[in-house]
Structures are given as structure tokens and as C-alpha cells.
Amino acid sequence: MDFQVVVLAGGTSKNLVPLVSKELPKALLPVANRPVLSYVLELLELSNLKDLIVVAEGKDVALRIGSWISGAYDDRLRVEVTSVPEDVGTAGALRAIARHLTANDILVVSGDLVSDVSPGAVAAAHRRHDAVVTAMLCSVPVSGSSESGSTGGKDKTKKAVVHNVVGLDPTKQFLLYIATGAEIEKDYKIQKSILRAVGQMDIRTDLMDAYMYAFRRSALQEVLDQKDTFRSLRQDVLPYLVRSQLRSEVVLNRTPQAEENGNEKVSSHKIQALISQILSNSSTTSFHDLYAYGANGSILVRKTHKCCVYIPPSSKYCARLFSIQAYSDINRDVIGEASHLSGYSFSAQNNIIHPSAQLGSKTTVGPHCMLGEGSQMGDKCSVKRSVIGQHCRIGSNVKIANSVVMDHVTIGDGCSIQGSVICSNVQLQERAVLRDCQIGAGFVVTAACEYKGEALARKEK
């Protein structure tokens, strides 16, 4: 297919503190006891896209990701892991690796995407329409999508959801307008000039940018070179490409002209009419070049490019791990309604208990739960809709619900954990109570303490 694939793995996202750290970057956060990056890599592998560039923020993060990939995918994928400076943004990351991009088309995928939508479908749509960019837009998850990265916990009750405003052509294949979340925090008005230009446009606010893009390399590199202040693909590059397709370039006899040429003046309303006609016929092969005859018989040509979308069926699963709330939601989904993504076979009780795990007397592990390798639970424990990692030691009379417990966690007798994320090597002493908390790696929760809506982490040395 001659696509070059770039996976943006990120670094230690501030939105995910205290879950992430130098030792555990975002790409390696466990989702159903697998690094989140594994979901994208296996999705690409299924589409036979096996030559990848994985871009990480920071050399240490790149080394950790590279070490994990070499162990897990050495004989399956050909992966080059490269590092870029921290906080350069997604556009900055591509700008930094521009010399590695040589194919005609580039498929860019976020490393935090968990989905069953084939990247091959996005690539095929891109080629079919000869587009400069094709973006995958998915239905917003039921729990909402806040790409500003709200963290849950104390802010959980607010749940202010910010969406994109998207304008599509009637066939829902072409992207005519987009405003990102940062632009629409308040009531947003679309300029009348844009509506006049496109003629007919379907306005949608229920679609999430899945951060899977197919770019024509020449167009992408031109934008990155000319717009050196652009940092984000979603907030800068994509809106710029969409806006620029509405700009009229009038050509007389194949030569670009100003609006006035001799005695003939190409009026602004004629330009708008050309744009409107082009966009109304955007699904035809004449989208790039629409011809009309001027008064003196010369040919007026409106040059443009196509910005396309791929919208998968609503039955497909698509979510991004960009906040703590999203992390909890995705873990819940992958052991629940989207269990086909987990890569595991569920039992008749609709759960996964590793053969090496040990359960005490009268301990129950309910449906939509996962208990990892080597973990042990004492007597009279209850686990509901939760993921428990590997080699955890859990005492007696412990209740865990709607939570994620990572590896090597020790939980004392009589503890209660609900709606929380417990990172690796945490110790909960007996009778500790957690509600809607995030506990960073290695933290010790002292006996009989009760926390609600707190983020707890060890102080950096």
C-alpha cells in the first residue's frame, strides 16, 4: 500500500499523573494487564502494516518502550523507536522526524488509541479519494470525551465535556469544517461566509477525533515547514488544511491570476459560486479541478484539495486514553462490552482468572473482572468489575469494585476500594478505605485511613 506508519507514543502525560512516572510512561500503562500501546501495534499488525516508526517524548521513555517492543514483538513487527524532545506536540514530533518520512502517504496513529477499527480502512478511504488528509472520527463514548484531560477524582462530578464541531458534506466523506475543543468552550458561531461557501453542510458535535490520520506526505511536510509554530495535528494542522481547501485560486489558461485580469474582473461572488459548486460536487472525480468559462473564452479553474473523513460504524469500539477517567473507562470496557479487544478467553462466569492465581475460601470474583498471574486473595473477599494485576497479595475481607489494581500491590485485611486506580508496588495497610482515588506507585496508605477523591503519590526525591 506504500504507507509509512508513525505511532505517536507520547511520554509522561501530565493529565495522567500520578499513574505515569519516569519508570512507567503513558504508552506502557496497563489496560486489562497489557500496555496500552499493544492495542495499536496489534491493530496495525492485523492490517499487515508491520513497518513502523514509534515516536516517544524523551530518550528514557524511548529506551523503555523500545526494550518492551523488542521483547514482545521482535519476530512480528519491524519497529524503529525514535525520541523527540518533550512537549514538542504532535506536529512538532513529526517535524522532528521529517527526514525519516519517505513514502507518498503517511499514516499517523496515537499510541493511546484502543479500537477495533481497521487502519487499513482509513488508508483505503484516503487513497480512494486522493485526499491530502483523511481523519478518522468516531462516535463519542457513552461516558463522554473530554480531550482537555480532566482527571476525575475531585473534578469527577463536574464532567464538563468538550467536543469538536465538525462540518461534513452530505455524503459524510469530506471534511468541510472543524473547530477543536479549545475553540468551543463557549457558544460557538460558524461564520456565514463559510456556510455560503460550502452550500450544504451537516454539522456534527457527536464525533471524536480518534487521532488516526492519513496524510499525503508532500502536503504534510509543506505545512510543517511553512508553519513552524504549529504544535498540534488536531488543533493546528488539520484545521489549517480544512480551511485552506476553501480558499479560491482562480487560474486563467492554467496561469494563476489576481482577481483582476485586464478588462475582466473575477468577482468575489463568482469565486464563492465556484467554491460552492466544487464542494457540492466533492464526491465526484472533478473535485480537484472544476472548470468554468470566462467571458472571453478563457478557462477559469478553481484548484483545491480534499480533506476527507472515515467514520466507522457505531458498533465499532474507539477510545483514547488521554485522562484518568478515560483510563478507568477503557479498562472497564475492555473487560466488559469490548472484551474481544482484550486478547483473552473469558470463562463461563465472564471473567478471567489466571490459572496460577489463588482464591481464599468464600472469595468471589464477579463477571467483567480480571485477576492476573500469581496473585493471591484471602478469605471472604469480593471483586466486582475490576482489573487486578500480577503478583498482588490481597488479605481477607477485602472489597474491590470498579477499580484497577496494577502489579505487585499489597492490600491488608478489611480494606475497601471503590472507583480507584492503584499503581504498582502500593501498600494498603489493614482497614484502609479508598473512594475515587488514584494512588501513585510505591505509596503506602496507612492503616484505617479513609480517602475520597484524592490523588496520592510519593514525593520526588
Judging by DSSP bridges, how do beta strands 416-418 and 399-401 pair with one another?
A: parallel
- Provide the β-strand partners of residue 264: 261
Mean pLDDT of the 40-56 span:
95
Q: 130 and 213 in contact (C-beta within 8 Å)? A: no
At 196, phi and psi to the nearest 5? -65, -40
- More confidently predicted of 336 and 286: 336
pLDDT at 152: 44
| pLDDT at residue 39 in the model | 97
Q: Say if residues 416 and 433 touch (Cβ distance below 8 Å).
A: yes
Is the pLDDT at 332 greater than 60, yes or no? yes
Could you tell me the pTM of the whole model?
A: 0.84
pLDDT score of 393 more than 60: yes
The vertex-446 CA angle with 445 and 452, nearest 5°, equals: 55
More confident residue, 208 or 403: 403
Q: What is the mean pLDDT of residues 304-326?
A: 92
Residues 416 and 382: their CA atoms lie apart, in Å, by: 10
pLDDT in tens, 256-290: 444 333 333 434 454 455 445 544 444 443 334 44
Q: What does the alpha-carbon distance between residue 170 and residue 415 come to, in Å, rounded to a whole number?
A: 56
Encode pLDDT of 188-244 as tens digits. Answer: 566 666 666 566 788 888 899 999 999 999 999 999 999 999 999 999 999 999 888
The 10s digit of each residue's pLDDT in 119-160 is: 999 999 999 999 999 999 998 875 544 444 444 444 444 444
On the question of pLDDT at 255 being above 50, the answer is no
- In sequence order, the 6+-apart residues with CB closer than 8 A to the CB of 372 are 33, 354, 357, 388, 389, 390, 391, 392, 407
The sign of the torsion formed by the CA atoms of 119, 121, 124, 129 equals negative
**Residue 134, φ and ψ in degrees, nearest 5:** -130, 125
- Listed residue (232, 235, 245, 217) closest to 107, CA to CA: 217
Mean pLDDT of 72-88: 93
The closest of 346, 371, 368, 344 to 356, measured between CA atoms, is 371
Say what the pLDDT of residue 425 is. Answer: 97
Q: Which of 123, 119, 109, 131 is nearest to 54 (CA)?
A: 109
Mean pLDDT of 354-380: 97
Q: Which domains does the chain have, with CATH numbers?
A: 3-252+307-333 (3.90.550.10), 264-302 (no CATH), 347-456 (2.160.10.10)
- Which amino acid type is present at position 352? I
Q: What is the pLDDT of residues 353-364, one digit of tens each?
A: 999 999 999 999
Q: What number is the average pLDDT over the span 33-45? A: 97
- Residue 185 in grid coordinates: 468552550
Question: At 437, is the secondary structure helix, strand, or coil?
Answer: coil
Do 336 and 355 form a contact (C-beta atoms < 8 A)? no
Mean model confidence pLDDT for the chain: 84
Phi then psi for 229, rounded to 5 degrees? -90, -10
